[in-house]
Amino acid sequence: MNNILIIGSVWPEPNSSAAGTRMLQLIQLFLSEGWKITFASAAAESNHMHNIETLGVTKANIEINNDNFDNFINELNPNIVMFDRFMTEEQFGWRVAKHLPDTLRILNTEDLHSLRKTRQETFKAGTTFNYSDLKNSNITKREIASIYRCDLSLIISNFETNLLEQVFNIDKNLAYHLPFLLDPITEETKQKWPLFNKRNHFITIGNFRHEPNWNSVLYLKEIIWPLIRKQLPEVELHIFGAYPPPKATQLHNPKQGFHIKGWAKNAQEVMKQARVCLAPLRFGAGIKGKLVEAMLCGTPSITSTIGAEGMLGEDSDWNGFIKDKPEEFADAAIKLYNNQNIWNQAQQNGIEIVNTLFLKEKYSNQFIQHIIELQNNLENYRTKNFIGSMLQHHTLRSTEFMSRWIEEKNK
């Protein structure tokens, strides 16, 4: 039985973010294999965090830049450590490598933070994103270095897997494509969804602390929603999401049909009641949880090219429309809202996307088997990753001493 330590940058919040949903899927997969799981984090606890202890997961609070962590992992002695996001690997990876050199190290990227951050920076600068921007970014160098230092990195989007291989020449053995792990949408599931004429209004949902989500809410408020509202004056847009700041709640305007609803206790229930989901994302990365959730609720969506990125197969059609220009986005939203035949076909497209690209049974066994093979051949496997061993050596000479300096300074 494997003993796995997951070090999270935050505690899992599956009702607040796609990252929280993804983490819970991984935890449930490991539990189904009978693995012992300890989840540790230096983050403050929140009201929305999942009670992972009810699942049989041991919870541990840890500190950054504190050698108490060394004692903690020596006592726990896990044979697998998974870092949730590259920043966590930077903080704790060198300690794991030093004290548990034979332990398999996995990086769960969630999404490529460097891709999302660089796109955000170029958008705000009013310039066109290109891969030279990505290569020149310091956060990219940090994230790629973290990928090399780990034995395996989980990449949620096939777009990002291809980017790592083609732009950065990352060996495909290091970057492992593992999307959302979902149960199939069956005919029985579909029968429980509200029908077209039983649904009302538009919806968008997403954690307000996530910059792409906040930007899309502003985009809707200032540009897209007035275009839709002009043609559909009685229809409302309901905006759900965890941690809405005052600048978001101030946008609430019932006269304009623009409703800031805040955190949804049950995101799937509010999604099922809506007729169409809007997600005009102008930057971002990874798989968009709101769009997957819309498909799981039978709710067609309008999104951007970046929103749908990594979520379409070669022969699949979108769960609605993909539009990047605001006028075209608004026109597509109105058409989808009013036309039941188009809406029904869009819903069916979403079912096919989930049942083709995100099936848990398609990926789970293969992934677990890959981990076991790595464990059985770890020494030989690591000899093929010279850059990783070189960076690990560099890490032990620099970031370790920076951390120790901070530790002493704190004392």
According to CATH, what is the number of the domain 3-182+360-410? 3.40.50.2000
Residue 93 pLDDT exceeds 80: yes
Q: Beta-carbon neighbour count of residue 166 at 10 Å?
A: 10
Across 92-108, average pLDDT: 96
The residue assigned the tokens 């990086």 is: 107
Residue 393 pLDDT exceeds 80: no
Cα distance between residue 279 and residue 370, in whole Å: 35
CATH 1.10.287.130 correct for 187-357:
no
Cα distance between residue 216 and residue 301, in whole Å: 14
- Percent of the chain past pLDDT 70, that is, above it, reads 99
pLDDT tens-digit readout, 301-347? 999 999 999 999 877 899 999 999 999 999 999 999 999 999 999 99
For the chain, give every domain's residue range: 3-182+360-410, 187-357
Lowest mean pLDDT among 2-6, 184-188, 264-268, 371-375: 264-268
CB 291 within 8 A of CB 315: no
* DSSP letter string, 103-130: SEEEEE-SS-HHHHHHHHHHHHHT----
Residue 399 pLDDT exceeds 90: no
pLDDT tens-digit readout, 142-169? 999 999 999 999 999 999 999 999 999 9
pTM of the model: 0.92
Identical topology for domains 3-182+360-410 and 187-357 = yes
Cα distance between residue 208 and residue 16, in whole Å: 9
CB 170 within 8 A of CB 407: no
| Phi and psi torsions of 198, nearest 5° | -100, 0
Amino acid at 293: E
From the list 300, 320, 302, the residue with the least C-alpha distance to 228 is: 302
Cα distance between residue 162 and residue 351, in whole Å: 25
pLDDT of residue 397: 63
Residue 396 pLDDT exceeds 80: no
Helix (H, G, I), strand (E, B) or coil at 352: helix
